[in-house]
Each structure stands twice: as structure tokens, then as C-alpha cells.
A and B are shown apart, each in its own frame.
Chain A
């Protein structure tokens, strides 16, 4: 009974900007095989799709998209900056170890740093030039970190001369995983987790389904959209490589239904013999989060504290797989990525192929500004980080640079009122936490209670709670602080026992 009520309540209570897209992409051939699901599950799934259009997860928010600024802009190449800054830690895991010396000349694509153990990746020279320094530089995260600084030879041809062709059909899974690590590939959607680690599931787990994440739910960003349209062949090749490496039986490309052109474009180009399907999902933030996409497409949840591999799933961003499709067969390394440069302060927003290490200042110089600059955000406005200096470089995980105007309404100082327990944050939180209670606890500095009783660790800082809060409480920031204090406390505790 309740179920039916909920299903009918959704269209009334949820203001759905996706209604206009509802008709397309509902064909039955893209429904994954749910033959063993119970009848009730199938009926409820059918009802949900009838009423809501495409599949999705519970909760979430509908921020203004602003994607029209760049969605129609094809990917263009930008000139090289004079100096590129390549931090040694652009990924999750251990920092790379530099293998070049100051004053050494390097050729575009040449390895300049090696991976330090398994959960780490090498770095490659994004341009032909000379190593000017290996020193501490500012990073978007805040603390200074070691980086290789490369002075670009503008006279050079900038051809990629490194790499050797490899036939992926002849390679076994281990060889592909090694090749992916050698390519320095990490999650390009923003996670920056080394891709080869995800290709090799932990012992006891077996990957059955490969999910390809083309949701791109952050406002402003359109680089994945353009990649799906323009680098389709590379993307499909990347999917085939990943299928081969993981041994997965099928791949599903999940695309938010604000990009139905990409859905039909991909469907038209997928060869019939490949086990790859494309599925439109509802346009809702944070649909592109790994866990939310798994729930939307497969109806399963990643167990708390576990990995997607434990339920037989691996999720890769479309940009990552397109690069995998390009780099692995040629034996090359990751030296550039597609970046959306957008925002109200940008004169000529667009999607650009940017060498890793390009300073944000150079990027903004190239696209031009309308006037004074407000916050500059690396990534999207929901989860991205505002930079304190424009000298920080574009790293492997930076999918967008969003420049806001100083008087942008989203930057206005809002008066913070006390929590009125309206429950909006509970309705927004995609992992069903109680941000209202967590916020009160954060104010009371009960950080331990937050983690132990209210599952703080499952918060992935998507920002939905702060977005909907009528009291303007900076909940997400509270939670970041709480988590970092808890981490420090744990570290101290561990040190005490040693």
C-alpha cells in the first residue's frame, strides 16, 4: 500500500525538469535481463519508469544545469603554456617517484615519474621541453606538494614519439592491467583512482558487469558529453579493453536523459555482436556518483564499507575509457585530457583538450574573461574545490574549470539560521543519512558520535544537504571538517599503539 502511495507521490512532490525528455529512449531492448526478478519488483520498476521516465536512485536534487553554455562546443586543442606543473600526486594512492633530473630534456609522452608500488601510476611529459625544477608548488587541495616543472619548447613539433603499438586481442588480462598502469590512467571523472586497480578486483570477487559512467551530473560540465559524441570509437575500444581485462560479461553505458543525443548516437554505433547497451537515467544530481549509478541501473546497493567489486560491478567514467581506448593500443601515457572551461565569468566557454599541468591562469587567459573574477572552481560547483591561486595546474582529475563572477548569487553570503529540522536534507541525501542531526552534532563537536552512531563515514560530500538547506547551514563543510578530525584522531590512536 505504502509503495503505491510513494510511487504516486513522486510526481507531485518532485519538481522534475526531465519531463520534457520522457518520450525517447524507453525502448525495451535496453532493459537488462531481469528475468529472475520477482513479479512485484518488475511491476514496481515498471510503475516507476512509467511515472518518472528513466531509472534513477532515491533522493537527490535538481540544481540548475548551465550546460547549454558548452554542450554544443566541440572539443578544441589549446596552445601549450610556457610552463607546465606536474604534481607527483594527482591520484589516490602513493605519489609517483620522479625519474628525471633538473635540466634534463624530455620528449612529449616520455615517462618522467614511475609508479610507487601497485596503487600508484607513472607520469608522462605532457610536452617536449626541459625539466626546470622538481619542487614544492601550490595545489588546489591547499598544502604545497612536490611537482615536476616543465619548461615547454615552443619550437618543438610536439609529436608523441614514445610508445609501442600493442595488439589488445593478443593480450591477457594481466598484460592489459599492466598496460593500463603504464599509461598512468586514473579515473578522469574526478575520483582520480588508478584505473588498473579497479580492473583487478580483490580476491574472491568477480566482475560481472562493467558500468560506464556518462552521467555527468555536475552543473556546467559537458566534457563527457562531448567525448561520447566525438570520441565514440575510442570509447567503444576502451570498453572492449576493460571487458577483456575484467572478464565482465556485459557493459552498460549510463547516460543522464539530458543527453539523449549521446544515447542515440552511441546506440547507433555499437556493433550488434558486442554485449554493450546504453541506458538513459534520470537527470538528477548526484546520478554520476558510482553508488547512485549502480543503484539506478542494477537495483543493487554497494554494502557499507565495501567496494562495487563485491557485488560484481566495476564503474568507469567515459573519459577514462576513451583514453584507455586511445592509449593502451598505442602503448602511450596520459598527457592530456578534455576540460570544460565555463561559468558566467568566462567570455568564450568551451571544451578543450588541455595538456596535464597547464596552469589555470593560462586556461582563463585563453578563453578570456567578461570582467572581474569571483571564485574559480576546479571540477563542478557541487563537489569541486575553489582555488586560492590561479597558479594551480590542471591535473588528471580536473574535468572542469568553472569561473564565477564576484557578485554571483551562489556566492552571496547567506544568513545562517538555526536548523528548523525541516527534513529537506533527509529527503535530499542520496545515502539516506540524517544531515540535520549530523549538523547539530558537528556544532556540538561530537565528531565521534557522528561517525559511530550516524554513519558519517558514508557521506561522500556530494553537497545535496547544503544545497537544499533553507537555514543555509554549511553542512557539507561541517562534515569535511568532522571527517578530517576523526581521521587525525584515528592516526593518533594508531600511533599510540605502536
Chain B
């Protein structure tokens, strides 16, 4: 019998059922409930903006790949550009004009990702770079929020009216609202105390469910938490960053609240408001821009949490997730350099282990 073998390949001849498109798909699946809720709650203008942002991101990716002479189809189908656009859209004010989304998509992909060399090479989280750039360049559009007007409700604009809002630049002052974080911050700035303002502005239940004014996909803390737990369950992310991020916010908030309840809100307020949960489970956990080791991730998450609290409480902006994540992104290589796992057979300083003679005789 004549048996032919193909040229020998290199091992291992087994591979886990994992790939980058699959990982990105799982993240999108986890984002889906909160996204659908946001789109439903803020209606057609939000849907148009969501689409505009994603189209912007994908176009930017195609153009960048074309200019760089890279294969377009395989690199586009890894799903990273789609996810970047999606995440960016979730953090935008839901009724922002279309060009906010498109410019954001371009910034995220071209400036934050492709200029660094594409997938895996970027130092900063692309969606957060775009969000911060937009916030600084277009402060008016980026801080104009609306009160929820769910799809099919009487007050909600239809698809065609919404085109005028998203693409026509039509104002929507009648629907204007402000985020809880923003309102509380402003009221505190005017010398009021939390005991008087919080009961009017904030109910934990509404903030957890997400029926409040806010960014497109950030409002529903509960759905984001479900998505995050799904990612943990599917082992796409590990617990280190979310737990240390949320934990450090909770500890700081509790401490400050106990010291001065009139000016510092409790931990639950910080956990369910703004982008905390989106940041903890979906933004800070971006593998490319976070440390690789478990201990490094704990430090990174805690750093993000502390910065979020500090920016929200004492800095000039009511929300600080994007700034905090970017600042910690810059620290990630440093953390990776100093925080390395202990290697088998070596101690923490990298020297070969030495067993005392009594260890030997004991065995």
C-alpha cells in the first residue's frame, strides 16, 4: 500500500474554539440588550445616530486599510472596527447630529487605531479617544441629552421626523434633559446639599433600569451588568478589572459618604449612574489597552475606579470614565513592565527558588 503524507506542519495539532471574530461577536452579543434598550428608549434619532457612527467607523477602517495596502476583507471581518463604532455610539448623546457619530468613528479608527498600526497596536482605547476628542471639540452637542421618549410612544418622533433631528440639524429643546450626574454636579456647585437635591433627581431603581436621560447605551445599569456577567461566564473577560474598578469606586464613595453625606453621594449612586458599568465591563476590559497579568489588571481597574471617582467629584466634568480609562491606558505598559507573574521555579525577584534544607528533609 502506498500512503502519501502532506508536508509536515508544526504543532500543536489542536486548537481551542476561539478566534478574534468570535470574541468580538460575543462582546457584541453581550452589548445587545443594553443597546436595544437604549435604541428603544431614545427612539429613531438614536437609531440613525447608531447607524451613522458604525458606518463612519467601518468606512474609516476600509479607507485606512486601503491606504496601508492591507487586505481589506479579512481585516474588516475580524469585527474590531464594528465593535469600536458600536461602543462609541453607546457613549454618545442619543440625539446628537449624524456628523458627531461619523467624525467620532473616523477619529476612533484613523487616529486612535490605524495610525498606531491597526488591531492590537493601539495604546489607547479607540472609542474613548474619539469620545474625549468629541467632548472637547464639540462641547455643546456632546452634552445635550434628552429625556427618554420610547419608540411608539405618543411624544416620540417618527423615523422621518427623526431624520430631520439627526441629519437636518433641527433643534429638540422640547425634549432636553440632563443626566443625573450633570444635574447633581450643577446643583452642588450652586451650594445646595445632596439631602435636598438627590431625592428629586435620582431614584436608584430608575437609574438601574435606565429610564433616565443619558448616553445612548449607558443608562441601563442592570442590562449592562447582565452583559458583563455573560462575558465573565463565557470567559471573554476575567473578573479582575470589573471587580477592582467597581470596588474602588464603591470603597471611595462609601468613605466620602460616611465623612460628609451632604456633599458626597453613596456607592450605589456612583455604580448605577453614568458610564460606570459600561466602562467596568466593556471599556476598561479592552484587552489591547489593559495589562496582561492578573495583578496588573487589578491595579489597572483600581486606578480607573479611583480616577472616575476623583473626576466626578472634584474635577471639571460631571462624568470621568473616558478620561480615567485613557489615563490608565497610558499606564498599562508601565504596569506590565513592573508587574509580572512569578515564573515557575523562580521567586518574585526572578531568582531561582532555593529550598531550605528543612524543606527537603520534611518531605
Flag if B6 contacts A375 (CB, 8 Å): yes
Q: Which residues of chain A come closer than 8 Å to B9, judged between CB atoms?
A: 375, 386, 411
Flag if B363 contacts A312 (CB, 8 Å): yes
Chain A CB within 10 A, most for which of B3, B74, B342: B3
Q: How far is the CA of A404 from the CA of B14 in the complex (A)?
A: 11
Flag if A420 contacts B13 (CB, 8 Å): no
> Interface residues of B, CB < 8 Å — how many?
55
Flag if B20 contacts A474 (CB, 8 Å): no
Q: How far is the CA of A289 from the CA of B346 in the complex (A)?
A: 18
Stretch touching chain A among B95-103, B118-126, B162-170, B265-273:
B118-126
- Which residue of the partner chain, among B287, B344, B353, B359, contacts A420 with CB atoms under 8 Å? B287
Q: Which residues of chain B come closer than 8 Å to A306, judged between CB atoms?
A: 345, 352
Flag if A418 contacts B120 (CB, 8 Å): yes
Closest to A389 in B: B5
- Residues in chain B within 8 A of chain A (CB atoms): 1, 3-16, 18-20, 22-23, 74, 78, 118-121, 232-233, 235, 238-239, 287-288, 290, 292-294, 297, 336, 340-346, 350, 352-355, 359-360, 362-363
Flag if B18 contacts A304 (CB, 8 Å): no
- Which residue of the partner chain, among B15, B233, B343, contacts A432 with CB atoms under 8 Å? B343
Known A301-B344, A414-B19, A420-B20: A390·B5 in contact at CB below 8 Å: yes
Flag if A470 contacts B5 (CB, 8 Å): no
Known A364-B3, A387-B5: A410·B119 in contact at CB below 8 Å: no
Q: Provide the main secondary structure of the chain B interface.
A: loop
Q: How far is the CA of A144 from the CA of B336 in the complex (A)?
A: 44
- Which residue of the partner chain, among A376, A466, A470, contacts B20 with CB atoms under 8 Å? A470
Known A384-B13, A388-B8, A474-B10: A311·B341 in contact at CB below 8 Å: no
Q: How far is the CA of A121 from the CA of B12 in the complex (A)?
A: 30
- Tell me whether A494 is interfacial, beta carbon within 8 Å: no
Q: Which residues of chain B come closer than 8 Å to A389, judged between CB atoms?
A: 5
Flag if B343 contacts A433 (CB, 8 Å): yes
Q: Nearest Cβ distance between residue B107 and chain A, in whole angstroms?
A: 21
> Interface residues of A, CB < 8 Å — how many?
83
Q: Which residues of chain B come closer than 8 Å to A421, judged between CB atoms?
A: 120, 287-288, 290, 292
Q: How far is the CA of A30 from the CA of B362 in the complex (A)?
A: 17
Q: Nearest Cβ distance between residue B56 and chain A, in whole angstroms?
A: 22
Q: Which residues of chain B come closer than 8 Å to A384, judged between CB atoms?
A: 11, 13
Q: Which residues of chain B come closer than 8 Å to A463, judged between CB atoms?
A: 11-12, 14
Known A208-B363, A304-B345: A385·B120 in contact at CB below 8 Å: no
Q: Other than A375-B9, A431-B343, A476-B11, give 20 A-B pairs with Cβ distance below 8 A.
A: A13-B238, A13-B239, A64-B14, A208-B360, A208-B363, A303-B353, A312-B363, A373-B3, A374-B6, A418-B119, A421-B287, A431-B345, A432-B342, A433-B343, A458-B344, A463-B11, A468-B16, A470-B19, A470-B23, A471-B19
- Tell me whether A12 is interfacial, beta carbon within 8 Å: yes
Q: How far is the CA of A468 from the CA of B14 in the complex (A)?
A: 9
Q: Nearest Cβ distance between residue A320 and chain B, in whole angstroms?
A: 22
Closest to A376 in B: B5
Q: How far is the CA of A419 from the CA of B20 in the complex (A)?
A: 10
Q: How far is the CA of A224 from the CA of B156 in the complex (A)?
A: 70
Flag if A298 contacts B363 (CB, 8 Å): yes
- Residues in chain A within 8 A of chain B (CB atoms): 9, 12-13, 15, 36, 61, 63-64, 206, 208-209, 219, 291, 295, 298, 300-306, 310-312, 361, 364-365, 369, 372-377, 381-390, 402, 404, 406, 410-411, 414-415, 417-424, 426-427, 430-434, 436-437, 455, 458, 463, 466-472, 474, 476-477, 480
Flag if A466 contacts B345 (CB, 8 Å): no
Flag if A426 contacts B292 (CB, 8 Å): yes
Flag if A303 contacts B352 (CB, 8 Å): yes
Flag if A477 contacts B10 (CB, 8 Å): yes
Q: Nearest Cβ distance between residue B3 and chain A, in whole angstroms?
A: 6
Known A364-B3, A373-B4: A304·B14 in contact at CB below 8 Å: no
Q: Which residues of chain B come closer than 8 Å to A385, judged between CB atoms?
A: 8, 11
Flag if A434 contacts B14 (CB, 8 Å): no
Flag if A386 contacts B11 (CB, 8 Å): yes
Closest 7 CB pairs of A and B: A463-B12, A431-B344, A381-B13, A418-B120, A386-B8, A304-B345, A422-B287
Flag if A382 contacts B14 (CB, 8 Å): yes
Closest to A468 in B: B16
